[in-house]
Amino acid sequence: MTPARFAVFLLILLGASFPAVLSGSKSFWYSDFSAMALPVAQHLQSSFWQGEWPLWNPLSNCGAPFLAQWGTLACYPFSLLFAVAPLPWSLNLFALGHIFLGGMGMFCLLRRWTAHPGSAAVAGVAYAFNGVSLSCLVWPNYTVALGWLPWLVLTARPAWLEGGRRLIAPVVIGGLQMLTGAPELILLTWVVLGVTLLSDLTSRPPVPHVGTRPALAGRFVMLVVLTAAVAAVQLLPFAELLAQSHRMGDFKPTRWAIPAWGWANLLVPTFRSGPPSDEIPQMQLGQGFLNSYYLGLGPMFLACIAVLWTRDRLLRGLGCLTLFCWWMAMGENSLLHPWVASVVPALHKMQYPVKFTLLPAFLIPFLAAHGWAMVDRWLDSGWFRWRRLLIPYAGLALLVAAVAWWGTPGGEWAWSNGLARLGCLGLFGLCFWGCIYRPGPTSGVALILACGVIAFDGTTHNQTLAPQMNAGAFSPGAWPAANGVPRPVPGEERVFIPPAVEKVMSTVRLSGAENRVVTRHLALWSHLNLADGIAKVNGSSTLPIRLQRDLEREIYKFGNTNCTGLLDFLGVAWVNLPEDPTRWIRRPTARGWLQVGAAARFDTESNLVERVLSPSFTPGEEVWFPDSARATTPWTSRVNGRITASSFRSDRITASADMAAPGLLTIAQSYSPYWKAWVNGKPVPLVRANHAFQAVPLPAGLSRVELRYIDPGFRLGLGITLTTLTGLGLWAAAAGRPGQRAKEQDRERGEAEATPQRLAA
């Protein structure tokens, strides 16, 4: 099983599993794929063809940073695929391509670590085809992070063992993974690297030719610093946005944790789940984030062999880490998570504890490959013992039968699912034995069959693990066509989804995949407004600005909808109806995003939200400021004025205003300190108005106003990233000169001749 042969084999498995998706006739759609991932990709594509950096999103949450959200993949270089190729096919190919990347990475990693291509092939297939990897297809950024994980582990260990130019590859790969915006998975990846480093630091005898233990630790720190520098273009804007966002508040992870009985789903994936469906996955009751976290009984059997019968402290440590992650995934349903969170309060920032199951999706295939290789070595050395195989094999089979029997009352599909899993375990056992016990051509066929059983088990353990639908249902422009009117123009109009409609769209389960997607699209729910380029009051920005979030909370959490003045100020021209969310009615009182002449009014900071939400708020006549702005805001009388011209881009607004006297220009867009203003070419302060929005002081007469979104974190991060990449490129070029390579080869040859016993150890 060479890398080329495994690549072909893995492509065949992916093609057989997702033929309609790869051909473009169908697309993934379930959960956040259609509601968030695809609209975000469409927004990136639109920004690319308009020649704009997608720094600011004016369409959601009355305006919010876009690139700084981290999970948008705006800085990930391979996002260029779905920026230039037709959607949704290119996004589907992007996601499946990173499944392939992860499988190849796992194969190469275990081929080096075990020197056993057969076990590496099993690990690669198990990593590509399991409940976690296939569930993450609805979040392309998580799929990307999983794809790079084994490559980072593969290249990082030589980096801290040998140093030098070995640091270049893991720095670049680690930077690519950090650009994905899957912070929990990124952190867990570095936990694996930390455990591996700890194993090297405590090894007896020491790993040969690595220098002192402080040298290893120093190279690891250098690896972390350089990786962060490569990803600085994304990390610095994200850190700045985090300081402005509502996520800075503490909260406890009570949502989407694995139930106390959730370990049973590792054996029977449909245990206590919903009924089988041809449209949606059988979701676990009490947890709705991952469609499945089942990793396959065959790989788990091999992983048990590796952990139970090894003396390798690294394998034991990774086995303990696997159990720790599954336990932590239970959140407050277990005693461990609250205790760890009390020691590490930052853990409360991880909103969904079930994300801890992401790491075992890597660890189990990793351990499985070592288990396969161990059995092969036992046979070669004559140390084979039947009990080493029968104990974990029989134990798993008995547990599966017990769980299936336990889950049968009220869920008969658990018993049939358990029998199917036992069948896959039995077939895998036969193929495994045929591969290791009968060398020759038969073992090659058995290996292919074993990998095929793993892929079949991974894709069929949930009747509809990765739901698909007709790709044509995602065509943009559906809203204007359905309503028979031009789309609301950003800068002039917004739409508003009332709380009652939001509740209906969040709770009602429509039948039919296309019906769900089209209805949500026409209702402009979640991020689907991005598909048609329509601005709305709320949105699905992961980190909306805290001030704007205050107003959204009052409207959507507390149902304060009698705020006609605020809706007029925001330019809300369309509202949909709870009885039919796809039907929109027009509001004739909506004003444009730019308004001039309103008089300044003042109140305490705590009362500003109440003021702008009040039915008596009249945006054409008054604009509210905190008391602290009295000295710098003298425009307390109304002024006659008008907007003579205006132009809106995502990160730039220009306008011309004619004022009878000095006054204020208000902009119905979320306030951010990174928006800067110029009047007649001179910088002027941009002040916070109406609690969460913008205002600019204007002189009398005709003025030209320009507002630009300038993110200093992005500029600084881009400079750091480009400088670091340039330095790495020069380093690689210098290390690759023939003379330098010859010196390194002579040094390595001399070391090998001087210490053969140490190298063997």
Q: What is the pLDDT of residue 560?
A: 80
**Per-residue pLDDT averaged across 671-677, rounded?**
94
Please report which confidence band the pLDDT of residue 710 belongs to, taking 50, 70 and 90 as the band edges. Answer: very high
Whether residue 347 is predicted with pLDDT greater than 80 in this model: the reply is no
Residue 153 bridge partners (DSSP)? none
How far apart are alpha carbons 226 and 229 in whole angstroms? 5
Greater model confidence, 257 or 507: 257
Burial of 656: CB neighbours in 10 Å, binned 0-12, 13-18, 19+: middle
**Per-residue pLDDT averaged across 335-363, rounded?**
81
Cβ(19)–Cβ(459) under 8 Å? no
Please report which confidence band the pLDDT of residue 254 belongs to, taking 50, 70 and 90 as the band edges. Answer: low
Pick the CATH number of 618-712 from 2.130.10, 2.40.40, 2.40.128, 2.60.40: 2.60.40
Greater model confidence, 291 or 756: 291
Please report which confidence band the pLDDT of residue 435 belongs to, taking 50, 70 and 90 as the band edges. Answer: confident
Number of H helices, E strands in the chain: 30, 18
Going by C-beta distance under 8 Å and a sequence separation of 6 or more, which residues neighbour residue 112?
Answer: 154
**Per-residue pLDDT averaged across 231-259, rounded?**
77
**Per-residue pLDDT averaged across 171-182, rounded?**
94
81 token code pair: 């695929």
Q: What is the 3-state secondary structure (H, E, C) of 589-636?
A: CCCCCEEECCEEEEECHHHHHHHHHCCCCCCCCEEEEEHHHCCCCCCC
**Per-residue pLDDT averaged across 313-318, rounded?**
89
Whether residue 760 is predicted with pLDDT greater than 50 in this model: the reply is no
**Per-residue pLDDT averaged across 560-589, rounded?**
91
Least confident of 55-64, 534-543, 742-751: 742-751
Q: What is the pLDDT of residue 272?
A: 84
**Per-residue pLDDT averaged across 396-414, rounded?**
79
Residue-wise DSSP of 274-343? PPP-SSS--PBTT--S-S-----HHHHHHHHHHHHS---HHHHHHHHHHHHHHHHTTGGGSSHHHHHHHH
Pairing of strands 572-577, 494-496: parallel
508-555 tens-digit pLDDT: 777 788 888 999 999 999 999 999 999 999 998 888 888 999 999 899
Please report which confidence band the pLDDT of residue 724 belongs to, taking 50, 70 and 90 as the band edges. Answer: very high
91-120 tens-digit pLDDT: 999 999 999 999 999 999 999 999 889 999
Using left for φ > 0, alpha for ψ between -120 and 50, and beta otherwise, residue 256 falls in left
Q: What is the pLDDT of residue 437?
A: 73
Least confident of 291-300, 552-561, 588-597, 751-760: 751-760
How far apart are alpha carbons 185 and 179 in whole angstroms? 12
Burial of 387: CB neighbours in 10 Å, binned 0-12, 13-18, 19+: exposed
Helix (H) or strand (E) holding 131: helix 131-135
Please report which confidence band the pLDDT of residue 77 belongs to, taking 50, 70 and 90 as the band edges. Answer: very high
Q: Where in the chain is the domain with CATH 2.60.40?
A: 618-712
Whether residue 412 is predicted with pLDDT greater than 80 in this model: the reply is no
Whether residue 428 is predicted with pLDDT greater than 50 in this model: the reply is yes
Using a pLDDT cut of 70, give the percent of the chain over it.
Answer: 92
Q: What is the pLDDT of residue 95?
A: 95
Helix (H) or strand (E) holding 687: strand 687-689
Whether residue 683 is predicted with pLDDT greater than 50 in this model: the reply is yes
Q: What is the pLDDT of residue 609?
A: 92
Residue-wise DSSP of 28-92? E-TTHIIIIIHHHHHHHHHHHHTT----EETTSTTSEESGGGSTT-TT-GGGHHHHHSPTTHHHH
138 token code pair: 């609805």
Whether residue 247 is predicted with pLDDT greater than 60 in this model: the reply is no
How far apart are alpha carbons 406 and 415 in whole angstroms? 9
| Helix, strand, coil percentages in the chain from 3-state DSSP, rounded to 5 | 60, 10, 30
Q: What is the pLDDT of residue 427?
A: 94
Using a pLDDT cut of 90, give the percent of the chain over it.
Answer: 59
Cβ(114)–Cβ(446) under 8 Å? no
Q: What is the pLDDT of residue 510?
A: 77
Q: What is the pLDDT of residue 758?
A: 33
Please report, as a single letter, which amino acid is at residue 13: L
**Per-residue pLDDT averaged across 404-428, rounded?**
81
Mean pLDDT estimate for the chain: 87
Q: Is the pTM of this model over 0.85?
A: yes
603-645 tens-digit pLDDT: 999 899 999 999 999 998 999 999 988 888 888 889 999 999 9
Please report which confidence band the pLDDT of residue 202 belongs to, taking 50, 70 and 90 as the band edges. Answer: confident
150-166 tens-digit pLDDT: 999 999 999 988 888 89
Dihedral sign, Cα of residue 68, residue 57, residue 537, residue 695: positive
Whether residue 390 is predicted with pLDDT greater than 50 in this model: the reply is yes
N residues, the chain: 761
How far apart are alpha carbons 169 and 732 in whole angstroms? 10
Helix (H) or strand (E) holding 547: helix 546-552
